[in-house]
Amino acid sequence: MTINILGISAYYHDSAACLIQDGTITAAVQEERFTRKKGDNRFPKNSVKYCLNQGQISINNLDHIIFYDDADLKFDRLKNTYLAYTPNGFESYYRSMNAWARGKNNITQLLQNELISHCNVNREKIPQISSVQHHLSHAASAFFPSPYEKAAVLCLDGVGEWATTSVWTGEKNTLYPQWQIDFPHSIGLLYSAFTQYIGFKVNSGEYKLMGLAPYGEPKYADDIVSKLIDLKDDGTFRLNMDYFNYPVGFSMTNTKFHDLFGGSPRLPESELTQKDMDIARSIQDVTEEIVFRLARTIKKETRQDFLCIAGGVGLNCVINGKILREGIFKDIWIQPAAGDAGGSIGAALAFWHMALNKPRVIRKPDSMNGSFLGPAFSNQEIQTHLNTTGAKYFYFDDSDLIPKVAELLAQGYVVGWFQGRMEFGPRALGARSILGDPRNPKMQQLMNLKIKFRESFRPFAPSVTADSVSEYFNLDRASPYMMLVAPVKSQLCYPMTDAQNALFGIEKLNIPRSQIPAVTHIDYSARIQTVHMETNPRYYQLLSEFERITRCPVLINTSFNVRGEPIVCTPEDAYRCFMRTKIDYLVLENNFLAKKEQTIRDTDDSWKTEFELD
């Protein structure tokens, strides 16, 4: 008799659901992909329905439902926060308590009500609902699917209940908590404070800050270390809360913070200055130093060979790559959905292994199925949709389709690539991707401005066949989830002249810096995805075919969406995105569409405001 566990993360940001069947991850998906609202935090009703459908079960067949957060403990933190800051923070208190009074204080009942209203089920048929602490969910999402029998685990995020940083050791089917750092002292919130100060959105713009950092110099790092944070040798830290407003305010920082950095926060969408870039670089460097110290301490104390990482800060792939290159651990594994969405997997797995005491089966390369855990669509379903919309398409077998697409990419065309099960986590890994030729020096600008409609400073990531990764990058192992940044091989790089080095930040990006300029960031680094025949055979074949034509097994891989839009989920989403942008060709499984042959053109530009800018 199969034991079915549904994991849910919701009500903060990035709601998601996953289904674990006898300890195997059957399905996992973020709610934003269905609702088309980025970072959707509502109850993941569509995700739950998808997971049940994928597992071929109904809600009556579920044995447990596990929520990724301990509401009592979180309420304890809120209560204490408001007590600590009284009489300040009334407005925030009022809003927060309103949300809790509306149901968050009784998460079991809240989830039951949601399931009754969305899943057509009687209350008595709903299985036991339990909850797991936020950082245990993160730690479990990092350790249990990893390929290691035992490992140290580091969780770094904004905040869940009390913990903001936590250290664990994992062995067999158990996680042992070692120590933690509590709210309000949070590396994630520190990074988010700078994200907001530089004019990006909290909980979504952090990766932009990371991408902006290489354009700057760490001129403010000393100020950060001397005034904002007290960092101990072991990597533990406390923030000087005199500079922050987030515990009870609606902004992350206060006027004292603004005075320290010489002015008010940058207005969103206004021009980026060298100062913004210097600040981005400074906080990135400080964050790296904190994580390095933590990693060294963890190694010294736990004596583990391997490290697993989760929590939103785990998405900082620059830091991940540097930890790996420091050689502190033999290897590291990062949960591909390191943010709160991945908490749904962690909560369910923690319950399976630790509450039900089920043994752990270690799978190689890991238990995430390449992170391809979302919905897939058959050729027939796709054709039904295309016929309805009147789209012109051709059906090709893989043997014809893949060489054709590779040839078009080599000619400089941009291709929307939709195949197989959708990725779980923030990265497109070749199932819902926009692809281009990385050798083309104009491709980066073209894709940023005409296809993604996003800021021109943002770099693109390369996909490379796993066997060729070390020929192009200083990386000697797999990075299937685009979680590691590594330098491009020096023999492929072009040195900058003095005149080029003197250019203003973003202008530097237009200078080709390597043989694959479109995926080489200005510090000669790249966020690498290795593609493996075992987990993504069609994409692997496409890369191999592209290599046959061009001698280059690398493609630009960016998520199939426009700025502010969640990654496309269905063929409808993909077709809509294709028609609204300058993507030249679209591949929907084996169906091939050319933009020039489509007659239905969306001439109305108002859709550009459909998605709130991130």
Partner 1 sequence: MKKIVAMIIYTCNIPVGFLSRLFRRNRFKRNINKNVKTYRCEPDTIRFASQDRISVTQKYDEDADCPDTLYPMW
Site residues for partner 1 per CB under 8 A: 66, 70, 72-73, 80-87, 90, 93-94, 97-98, 108, 128-133, 135-136, 161-163, 166, 174-182, 184-185, 230, 232-234, 236-242, 247, 350-351, 354-355
HSE, CB side, 13 Å, CA atoms: give it for residue 520: 27
Q: Are β-strands 174-182 and 415-418 bridged in parallel, bridged antiparallel, or unpaired?
A: unpaired
> What is the Cα–Cα distance from 524 to 489, expressed in whole angstroms?
9
Residue placing its CB nearer to partner 1 in the complex, 41 or 180: 180
* CA 344 to chain centroid: 14
> What is the Cα–Cα distance from 519 to 25, expressed in whole angstroms?
32
Residue placing its CB nearer to partner 1 in the complex, 4 or 463: 4
> What is the Cα–Cα distance from 130 to 432, expressed in whole angstroms?
33
Please state the closest distance from residue 351 (CB atom) to partner 1, in A: 6
Residue placing its CB nearer to partner 1 in the complex, 354 or 533: 354
Residue placing its CB nearer to partner 1 in the complex, 80 or 389: 80
* CA 401 to chain centroid: 30
Please state the closest distance from residue 260 (CB atom) to partner 1, in A: 15
Q: Assign 432 to helix, strand or coil.
A: strand
Residue placing its CB nearer to partner 1 in the complex, 121 or 354: 354
Give the CA diameter of the chain.
Answer: 73
Please state the closest distance from residue 120 (CB atom) to partner 1, in A: 22
Please state the closest distance from residue 141 (CB atom) to partner 1, in A: 15
> What is the Cα–Cα distance from 546 to 534, expressed in whole angstroms?
19
204 touches 39 (CB < 8 A) = yes
Strands (E), 297-443: 306-310, 331-334, 394-395, 415-418, 432-436
Residues in the chain: 614
> What is the Cα–Cα distance from 572 to 386, expressed in whole angstroms?
8
> What is the Cα–Cα distance from 18 to 149, expressed in whole angstroms?
23
> What is the Cα–Cα distance from 352 to 22, expressed in whole angstroms?
8
Please state the closest distance from residue 167 (CB atom) to partner 1, in A: 8
Residue placing its CB nearer to partner 1 in the complex, 133 or 536: 133
Please state the closest distance from residue 354 (CB atom) to partner 1, in A: 6
Please state the closest distance from residue 23 (CB atom) to partner 1, in A: 16
Residue placing its CB nearer to partner 1 in the complex, 193 or 516: 193
Interior angle at CA 576, CA 572 and CA 581, nearest 5? 150
> What is the torsional sign of CA 464, 470, 472, 473?
positive
Residue placing its CB nearer to partner 1 in the complex, 175 or 409: 175
> What is the torsional sign of CA 565, 569, 570, 571?
positive
141 touches 346 (CB < 8 A) = yes
Please state the closest distance from residue 102 (CB atom) to partner 1, in A: 11
Please state the closest distance from residue 568 (CB atom) to partner 1, in A: 36
Residue placing its CB nearer to partner 1 in the complex, 94 or 303: 94
Please state the closest distance from residue 171 (CB atom) to partner 1, in A: 12
Residue placing its CB nearer to partner 1 in the complex, 93 or 413: 93
For residue 144, the 8-state DSSP code is: T
563 touches 201 (CB < 8 A) = no
Residue placing its CB nearer to partner 1 in the complex, 327 or 359: 359
Look at residues 13, 36, 48 and name the one whose alpha carbon lies nearest to residue 568: 36
Q: Which residue has the tokens 């679209």?
A: 586
